């Protein structure tokens, strides 16, 4: 594995320009002061109640995601490029979804194989020919970005279903501003606080035509036991919309209403943080207690907007991922600005042969997995693990893709033995309304706190950092 690109230090001892002020500040600040602020930050997070639940962990059902107080910094120029690439990518995702559920030009053109769509459990036949308001499918996208050198941004994963983490982006900033006012004063950091406003206007802009007057927006949560519940309540609060559970909603004459103390009230747009499978027990899983019976028929009647739309999973599936560069070119006629990680599709015999020969060097992922589970990180795995995985892979090659182990870029991070480089990724949040696509500068930086670890997922020991885009 190559030496990782460090976002602060240039080999040879120089600093990258974006980090110069931070480096000066770090020199002036005694390590105890940093440690003290770190503890203060933890206390604040706990008091605000920014916790997440870990499933199957009875010891402590509410945990904090570790927060690293050293910001991750990018220059405005870098951001401009990234932003352009993100908009391009999300535009293509939306066009792809519209096409898959309507004309299917891309299948006829032979760019994406049919069976990858129709055999895919996240493809929703219910959405065939279904008109979604304003043709927007992915209103909120979280695109996971990594860097391996100074020039390129690479998409690791598209999240087009119910991406989470934006509350951390906002709260991290609040807490950093509270704890390090002096450090902020020495930088010009682009603000992120507009996010809730932009989200609300994006959601309102996609209200169905049958809306009368101002559209009513609600956020649908699975409830307090969901791991992202804090984020749901946080966003509902910031947006000033009702936080509803399935049992608060009813469908009458193909319209959706919420039960209020003054009787029922029509809802026009649902920002849903409930997965497709659980949305409507009449259409999807009949055992779902989280959903709303009849929601899909109101959706089909065009009386409710769901954000994101149903069936978007087909666009962020890991099997589709490898086709994204072609998808961008097909719909937009442009070269993709953001690169893909080189990906071997194990369903293709030639690729499978290569992967089996090089398991020790590759990362192999389940096509339908998420959260960093069920994957093999070749260089870090024991012989026995690799052999066990080889059997699994041979049995069901179409269930896997493989990628080279990338040296994710590193950023300085507080560790038990002082500042040290740790691997990071970035999840910016892309909002698409009926008229425009917006991205607040930055996103959620996740950091693998264990030395050498490349897994940034919070469920597996990852932490977060505040992400600064400098306004130059």
Residues in touch with another protein (CB under 8 A) = 46-47, 49, 223-224, 229, 233-234, 236-237, 242-245, 247-248, 258-262
Residue nearer to another protein on the CB measure, 258 or 328: 258
How many other CB atoms are there within 10 angstroms of residue 122's CB atom? Answer: 20
Residue nearer to another protein on the CB measure, 178 or 247: 247
Contacts of 91 (CB under 8 A, 6+ apart): 331, 332, 437
Instruction: Decide: helix, strand or coil at residue 239.
Output: helix
CA angle centred on 16, ends 12 and 19, rounded to 5° = 125
Contacts of 354 (CB under 8 A, 6+ apart): 344
What is residue 435's DSSP assignment? S
Residue 51 token pair: 């916790």
Residue nearer to another protein on the CB measure, 167 or 445: 167
Smallest gap from Cβ 48 to another protein, in A, equals 8
CA angle centred on 135, ends 133 and 139, rounded to 5° = 85
Residue nearer to another protein on the CB measure, 41 or 90: 41
Residue nearer to another protein on the CB measure, 237 or 471: 237
- Distance CA(296)–CA(284), nearest Å, equals 9
Smallest gap from Cβ 194 to another protein, in A, equals 20
DSSP 238-263: HHT-EEE-GGGEEEETTEEEEEEBTE
Smallest gap from Cβ 244 to another protein, in A, equals 7
Instruction: Decide: helix, strand or coil at residue 420.
Output: strand
Smallest gap from Cβ 255 to another protein, in A, equals 17
| H/E segment holding residue 28 | helix 20-28
- Distance CA(351)–CA(359), nearest Å, equals 12
Smallest gap from Cβ 229 to another protein, in A, equals 7
Residue nearer to another protein on the CB measure, 264 or 381: 264
Smallest gap from Cβ 245 to another protein, in A, equals 7
- Distance CA(28)–CA(22), nearest Å, equals 10
The answer to whether 85 and 325 have CB atoms below 8 angstroms apart is no
Residue 419 token pair: 């500042």
Smallest gap from Cβ 304 to another protein, in A, equals 17
Residue nearer to another protein on the CB measure, 77 or 247: 247
How many other CB atoms are there within 10 angstroms of residue 237's CB atom? Answer: 12
Smallest gap from Cβ 91 to another protein, in A, equals 33
- Distance CA(433)–CA(139), nearest Å, equals 6
């Amino acid at each position: 594995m190559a030496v990782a690109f460090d976002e602060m230090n240039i080999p040879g001892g120089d600093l990258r320009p974006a980090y110069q002020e931070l480096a000066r500040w770090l020199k002036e600040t005694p390590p105890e002061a940093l440690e003290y602020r770190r503890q203060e930050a933890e206390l604040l997070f706990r008091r605000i109640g920014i916790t997440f639940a870990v499933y199957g962990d009875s010891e402590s059902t509410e945990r904090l995601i570790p927060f690293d107080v050293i910001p991750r910094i990018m220059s405005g120029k870098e951001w401009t490029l990234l932003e352009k690439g993100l908009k391009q990518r999300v535009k293509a995702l939306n066009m792809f979804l519209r096409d898959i559920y309507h004309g299917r030009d891309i299948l006829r053109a032979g760019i994406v194989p049919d069976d990858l769509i129709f055999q895919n459990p996240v493809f929703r036949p219910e959405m065939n020919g279904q008109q979604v308001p304003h043709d927007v499918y992915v209103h909120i996208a979280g695109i996971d970005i990594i860097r391996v050198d100074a020039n390129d941004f690479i998409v690791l994963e598209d999240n087009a279903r119910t991406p989470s983490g934006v509350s951390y982006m906002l709260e991290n900033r609040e807490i950093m501003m509270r704890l390090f006012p002096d450090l902020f004063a020495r930088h010009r950091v682009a603000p992120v606080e507009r996010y809730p406003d932009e989200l609300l206007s994006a959601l309102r802009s996609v209200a169905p035509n049958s809306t009368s007057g101002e559209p009513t927006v609600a956020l649908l949560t699975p409830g307090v036991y969901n791991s992202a519940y804090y984020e749901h309540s946080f966003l509902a609060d910031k947006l000033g919309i009702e936080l509803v559970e399935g049992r608060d909603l009813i469908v009458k004459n193909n319209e959706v209403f919420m039960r209020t103390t003054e009787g029922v009230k029509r809802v026009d747009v649902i920002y849903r943080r409930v997965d497709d499978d659980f949305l409507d027990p009449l259409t999807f899983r009949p055992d779902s207690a989280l959903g709303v019976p009849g929601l899909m028929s109101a959706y089909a009647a065009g009386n409710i907007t769901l954000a994101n739309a149903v069936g978007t999973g087909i666009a962020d599936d890991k099997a589709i991922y490898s086709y994204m560069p072609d998808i961008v070119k097909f719909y937009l006629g442009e070269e993709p600005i953001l690169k893909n990680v080189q990906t071997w599709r194990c369903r293709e015999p030639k690729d499978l042969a290569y992967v089996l020969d090089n398991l020790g060097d590759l990362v192999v992922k389940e096509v339908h997995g998420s959260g960093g589970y069920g994957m093999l990180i070749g260089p870090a795995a024991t012989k026995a693990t690799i052999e066990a995985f080889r059997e699994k892979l041979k049995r069901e090659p179409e269930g896997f893709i493989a990628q080279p182990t990338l040296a994710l870029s590193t950023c300085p991070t507080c560790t038990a033995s002082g500042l040290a480089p740790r691997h990071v990724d970035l999840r910016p949040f892309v909002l698409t309304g009926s008229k425009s696509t917006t991205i607040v500068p930055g996103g959620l930086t996740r950091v693998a706190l264990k030395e050498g670890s490349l897994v940034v997922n919070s469920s597996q020991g990852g932490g977060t950092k505040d992400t600064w885009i400098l306004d130059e």
